[in-house]
Amino acid sequence: MKKGILSILLLFITNIIFAQVATVSSPDGKLKLDIFLEEGQPKYSVEYDGKTALEKSPLGLLTNEGDFSKNLTFKEQTVEQVEKKYTQDKIKKSDIHYVANKLTSSFEDEKQRGLSIVFQVSNNDIAFRYELPAWGERRAVVIEEEATGFKFPEYTTTFLSNMMGAMGAFARTSPSYESGYTNDEPVGKGTYGNLGYVFPGLFRLGNDNWVLLSETGVSSQYNASHLSDGTKDGLYHIQYPHLNQNNGFGSRGAQISLPGVTPWRTITVGNTLKPIVETTIAFDVVEPLYQPSQEYKFGRGTWSWIVWQDQSMNWDDQVKYIDFAADMGYEYILIDALWDANIGYEKMEELIDYAHSKNVDVFLWYNSNGAFNDAPQGPRNRMSTSIARKEEMKWLQKIGVKGLKVDFFGGDKQETMRFYEDILSDANDYGLMIIFHGCTLPRGWERMYPNFVGSEAVLASEMLIFSQDVREKEAFYATLHPFIRNTVGTMEFGGVFMNKFLNRGNTRGQERLTTDVFQIATGILFQSPVQMFALTPNNLTDAEGFLMDFMKDIPTTWNETLYIDGYPGKYTVIARRNGDNWYIAGVNAMEEAIELQLDLPMLKGEKVNIYNDNNKKEPTLINHTIKKDGSYKVTIQPNGGFVIKQ
Ligand code: CA
């Protein structure tokens, strides 16, 4: 009898201490989120289709005004529907309809200071952030750390890229999101120096679910964050930038005004990889921060630096690449580092006039530095203060330059996020598009900043030139990007090589290990609205003509993107539509040829061109009519690829 009362009492207490306080589901009911308050700490868990996506995971903020990760009380919840239609011409899809159920859970600390946690749950995505009201007279706060975490089941495997150490790599320019990814590793493996992992990170929960974690909506108003090393049982936390970034200058956390918000953290969930490839959540929950000063024109470009390197920064070679861009029908040339010293400001005006006479517009390279690393290439100190920047941009506008590639940033601190935003905002005033290199992941920037047209933030084409290991893993990495890095943001990879050897002579040295058709397939697989291709002028005569014709026509903007097949690290097939034309592209990173039965309902009975490799890895082109049922059986050679073009 006594024992019975005790267990009822225990159950009662347990319910108070571990109370579930709120719940919300996606519009289709499959994605379900529960909020708990355990001993004053808010937690959440996520299920998809009745199966675990995240186990109970911690929430909360640590501020200079107090600890908002414990001793909280639950006040109330509200649920409302969010619906939004928008168009975007710089991402994987052009017309987006976002519908979500929005749950706001409000908490208070012991001093009655409020904190709300907002979750927006759409069919395959959760975006959440913290919202802070003004606390009495307190209208400014510093967020120092977060308790926010993501708890995966122990059997989860991970596809992650480690955060680079601060002030390392070339001329102390790291971190720059250029570590490469590992695949299918157990949780809790850890990184050298406990540096954690960059966003996005992909997680496979056995045969149950795939989960992609990322972050969006980071502007000058916050620092960018990343994932900590995981614990052995699968808990990853939100981690703020290492204090040593930016040569130790600037804080790790964020200084915000009250009322204020944190960036959105995003969780994309599906029982296949389809929602991972097709998600637009990075763009759904952000808004443009200013209007474009004009209509920006995206397109294709040539750039000499990637294969011909620093020595090509001279008048004659740049003329060759301008003529080459004109022959390809490309819109742009990117004139890379050292033009200030090797061609000079005066001669540049003449060179740009020459480009215009050939109907080619110009992107120019700039060093972002400044004071925070040792990158020696010029122009230096022209982007790093608003006085120099506006003076330079006025000149750039006068001579008709259309865009800049700004390189070598100092990390993820709020200090650096302000710098990115200042460059973007000033550039818009002078009609300039911006590409960032040596940089962080763009977090919703395609939509937030109208003149932002691409970020590197990947182990990019330059490392194929520099590293045998990266050449050997070229296909491996290519199969990962559409599922991870490139699905949350534009990826300025600078690829598509036709040289057999990745140098100017093209007769020996850095041998390319992937096929020619693999290369053109990456032109479709890798998405960025402005693409600087790694083709060289000699390719007009030494590369296969029908591949160069394909490259002359290749689009860089897309109305739709669909997952077709694949597994990160093994092989990948995706479809993209530009206007009325579908492109289906695939690559294979496995040691054997792979035969796939593709289901292509968009091409039922359609006449298409099919680019593939024969078993000697030579390029082939056939005309073909896809069967009425939309099926097509394709073989992809190892280190090879294919493209079906409508
Ligand atoms: Ca780089």
pLDDT digits (tens, 9 = 90+) for 146-201: 999 999 999 999 999 999 999 999 999 999 999 999 999 999 998 989 999 999 99
Q: In the chain, pLDDT over 90 holds for what percent of residues? A: 96
pLDDT at 515 over 80: yes
* Strand duo 361-367 + 403-407: pairing: parallel
Q: By the 8 A CB rule, do 163 and 225 touch?
A: no
pLDDT at 16 over 70: no
Please report which helix (H) or strand (E) contains residue 205, including its range: strand 201-205
Q: By the 8 A CB rule, do 142 and 47 touch?
A: no
Please report which helix (H) or strand (E) contains residue 633, including its range: strand 631-636
Q: What is the pLDDT of residue 196?
A: 98
Query: Residue 21 Cα, ligand 1 centroid: separation in angstroms?
Result: 46
Could you give the C-alpha distances from 40 to 17, 104, 107, 137, 363, in angstroms and in order? 8, 17, 10, 25, 54
Query: Residue 172 Cα, ligand 1 centroid: separation in angstroms?
Result: 13
pLDDT digits (tens, 9 = 90+) for 101-140: 999 999 999 999 999 999 999 999 999 999 999 999 999 9
Query: Residue 460 Cα, ligand 1 centroid: separation in angstroms?
Result: 7
Q: What is the pLDDT of residue 273?
A: 98
Alpha carbons 535 and 544: distance in angstroms, whole number: 12
Query: Residue 543 Cα, ligand 1 centroid: separation in angstroms?
Result: 27
DSSP letter string, 134-192 = -BTTB-EEEEEEE--EEE--TT-EEE--BPPPTT-TGGG----S-S----SEETT---T
- Residue corresponding to tokens 């479809």: 575
556 DSSP 8-state letter: -
pLDDT digits (tens, 9 = 90+) for 437-446: 999 999 999 9
CA atoms within 13 A on the CB side of 336: 21
Among the listed residues 237, 283, 239, the one whose alpha carbon sits nearest the alpha carbon of residue 125: 283
Query: Could you tell me the two tokens for 53?
Result: 């996506």
Q: What is the pLDDT of residue 213?
A: 98
Alpha carbons 429 and 91: distance in angstroms, whole number: 23
Query: Residue 210 Cα, ligand 1 centroid: separation in angstroms?
Result: 29
Query: Residue 437 Cα, ligand 1 centroid: separation in angstroms?
Result: 6
**All residues at 6 or more sequence positions from 337 whose CB lies less than 8 Å from its CB, including other chains:** 305, 310, 313, 365, 367, 377, 378, 407
pLDDT at 398 over 70: yes
Query: How would residue 428 be classed by pLDDT, with cut points 50, 70 and 90?
Result: very high
Which pTM does this prediction carry? 0.97
Beta-bridged to residue 269, according to DSSP, are 211
Instruction: Share the mean pLDDT of the chain.
Output: 96
pLDDT digits (tens, 9 = 90+) for 539-593: 999 999 999 999 999 999 999 999 999 999 999 999 999 999 999 999 999 999 9
Q: What is the pLDDT of residue 1?
A: 44
Q: By the 8 A CB rule, do 35 and 42 touch?
A: yes
pLDDT at 245 over 60: yes
Q: By the 8 A CB rule, do 487 and 527 touch?
A: no
Query: Residue 342 Cα, ligand 1 centroid: separation in angstroms?
Result: 21
pLDDT at 609 over 60: yes
**3-class secondary structure, 239:** strand
Query: Residue 45 Cα, ligand 1 centroid: separation in angstroms?
Result: 37
**All residues at 6 or more sequence positions from 504 whose CB lies less than 8 Å from its CB, including other chains:** 307, 308, 309, 311, 312, 536
580 DSSP 8-state letter: T
Angle formed at CA 188 by CA 460 and CA 154, multiple of 5 degrees: 120
pLDDT digits (tens, 9 = 90+) for 337-367: 999 999 999 999 999 999 999 999 999 999 9
Query: How would residue 10 be classed by pLDDT, with cut points 50, 70 and 90?
Result: low
